[in-house]
Amino acid sequence: MNTTTTMNTAMRHWHLDRDAAGIAWAAIDVADSGANTLGSEVLREFGLILDQLNAQPPKGLVILSGKSAGYIAGADLEEYTRIETMEGIADIIRRNNALFDRLEAVPFPTLALIRGHCMGGGLELSLACRYRIAVDEPGTRLSLPEVMLGIVPGWGGMKRLPRLVGPAAAMDMMLTGKGIDARRAKKMGLVDEAVPPRVMEAAARNVVLSSAPAHRPPLLQRLLNGPLKFVVASGARKQVAKRARREHYPAPYAIIDTWQRYDGDWLRMPASDPSSLQSIFEQGTARNLIRVFFLQQRLKALGKQEIADFKPRHVHVIGAGVMGGDIAAWCVQRGMTVTLQDQTVERIAPAIARAAEGFGKKWRNDKREVRFALDRLIADPGGGGVAQADVIIEAIYENLEAKQALFRDIEQRAKPDAVLASNTSSLKLEDIAQAMEQPQRLVGIHFFNPVAKMPLVEVVRGAHSDDIQVTRATSFVHKLDKLPLPVKSAPGFLVNAVLGPYLLEAMRCVDEGIAPEVVDEAALAFGMPMGPIELADTVGLDVAMAAGKGLTDAAAPPRRLQALFDAGKLGKKTGEGFYVWQDGKPQKQSAAQVPAGLADRMIRPLLEATQRLVAEGVVADAELADAGVIFGTGFAPFTGGPLNYLAARKH
């Protein structure tokens, strides 16, 4: 940046320099951290920077990152978890709002030079600048993900973003938490320029010295941010209501209310309002969702242990059914080469066709990437890929003898250090490994359906599994951008073992005459993403029958389930199960009044199973159990997980 003067050397988290053109460059580089987060000390130092610059005004100020890992990852959430009082949280919000107001009001032009992830408070800081430039590369993403933590963009984002890009685009960002790339940010007016890395500093210098007016949205958007606010607010509430109930997730409703009634200034809202700061934090969802965030970070960290010389580039998948084909496609999307084996090319073809459709959606504007991806997915009916693969995943039907024969053959042909994994959901690894000369090589890598949507993968340790193989499998799952959950070999592991009793109890309710729609509504009202009867129909009643035999202590399956199974009515896959399915959706009648206690009755077996599995050591501790059940079943995240929910009820 051709700096000539270091303006301050005493700060731990910022470097401030002034170049020959008179531009000040403030680089955030949070000490003792791999990512930049905005804790109190970091923002206190930024206040000192503004003091210096106000005393000796520069020609302009550019705020950038001193790290290669990204721009600013948002607030320091750990700091929030250490604050015990509501007034302490309110003090931080007031202080940071005042600081960003100061930044917005300085008499010289300011610019945020965004390279890498710019999230939450990082984007709110950037919104307080006159200009923004985003570096156009894959790692650059801008987002306000607070709603996913049960909170709101409380440092000025709710007032500044709608003024900058219009309320419709702003609401979409704030209510979904989704990130956008540099080009999209430029198109919507969130940034002034999207530039390649090689010219980012020159572009920043040119823009900050340009004296160009700050961006304003078109007239219609300005009207929608003024006298026509009710139009956007009404539509937004209807959309949110389709996805989340206010009693479970109050934050999205608070965002709409705060913007519509208080111009995005959360601090002006009376404490008695259900959308106020006090109401949000006292309700508990925010605390639990922040807990879930840290649980997710813990799962991610499990896969970050690097194994010398283990860089999985070639994956061999055996079994080209829905599960195997989708595992293969996901590995390809993550840059790996995959050989996909089944008995004939004709059996493999549907999986490749399905993968091609998925690649086309992912890279709809880049046909070259689609072609490259298809080149990495290779039909291999003869199984020649076994000898070259770094990871071999078996995903054939659940038959012990077939799996034993397969692994007996595989271990003779695979590389000595290849990971040998079964995707079994119900068989014990020890039984499969009995046929192997080196049973320590076998681990479980258990994906969930649909592979592309389910974030969790169970990494299963058998009684004989080698530590290095388990660590390699965990690292592989992390490289797939999935959350690895270590579990011991036991029927159903964690996720299916807690789902089985839950689904069984729901079906018993149907046998007692309670309509499937009422059973499902009770679960939805509790906070589950899908009702248990619809879930059973979705995964298949044949799967439910097989799982029920191994995962519950029921002497016989529920009567209605048995009757549907005997009639070949297996749910969504056949067009009829508990529900009739049309165009991929269940045709439901309006649910009658939900009987009191119905949800508790169905959830209780799930809670008890989770407790038991922790006590038996199938999963290491309560935190990992909560994480696994949330990310593997969708168990109501606002509760913080089944065991956290159980503990809260006891208090």
Evaluate if residue 305 carries a pLDDT over 90.
Answer: no
Evaluate if residue 7 carries a pLDDT over 80.
Answer: no
On the CB side of 578, CA atoms within 13 Å amount to 35
Residue 237: exposed, middle, or buried by beta-carbon count in 10 A (0-12, 13-18, 19+)? middle
Evaluate if residue 391 carries a pLDDT over 60.
Answer: yes
CB atoms within 10 A of CB 6: 10
What is the pLDDT at residue 550?
60
pLDDT tens profile 208-241: 999 899 998 998 898 998 889 999 999 999 999 9
Evaluate if residue 8 carries a pLDDT over 70.
Answer: no
Give the whole-angstrom CA distance, residue 268 versus residue 150: 19
What is the pLDDT at residue 543?
82
Cis upstream peptide for 450 (omega within 30°) = yes
Encoding tokens for residue 186?
A: 């430029």
What is the pLDDT at residue 426?
80
Evaluate if residue 9 carries a pLDDT over 70.
Answer: no
Evaluate if residue 6 carries a pLDDT over 70.
Answer: no
Q: Are the C-beta atoms of residues 536 and 581 closer than 8 Å to each other? A: no
Encoding tokens for residue 597?
A: 């206690």
| pLDDT tier for residue 81 given thresholds of 50, 70 and 90 | confident
Strands 456-461 and 442-446, bridge-based pairing: antiparallel
Mean pLDDT for the chain overall: 94
What is the pLDDT at residue 616?
97
Give the whole-angstrom CA distance, residue 151 versus residue 289: 9
CA distances, 459 to each of 105, 467, 476 (Å): 53, 12, 10
Query: Which domains does the chain possess?
Result: 3-217 (3.90.226.10), 314-492 (3.40.50.720), 496-617 (1.10.1040.50)
| pLDDT tier for residue 86 given thresholds of 50, 70 and 90 | confident
Evaluate if residue 2 carries a pLDDT over 60.
Answer: no
Q: Are the C-beta atoms of residues 181 and 141 closer than 8 Å to each other? A: yes
What is the pLDDT at residue 54?
95
Residue 137: exposed, middle, or buried by beta-carbon count in 10 A (0-12, 13-18, 19+)? middle
Rounded average pLDDT over 470-493: 95
On the CB side of 326, CA atoms within 13 Å amount to 13
CA distances, 282 to each of 46, 52, 85, 248 (Å): 31, 39, 10, 13
Give the whole-angstrom CA distance, residue 458 versus residue 426: 13
For the chain, give the percent of residues with pLDDT over 90: 86
What is the pLDDT at residue 546?
76
Residues involved in catalysis: 425, 446, 458, 496
What secondary structure letter does DSSP report for 403? H
Rounded average pLDDT over 576-590: 94
- For the chain, give the number of residues: 651
Evaluate if residue 4 carries a pLDDT over 70.
Answer: no
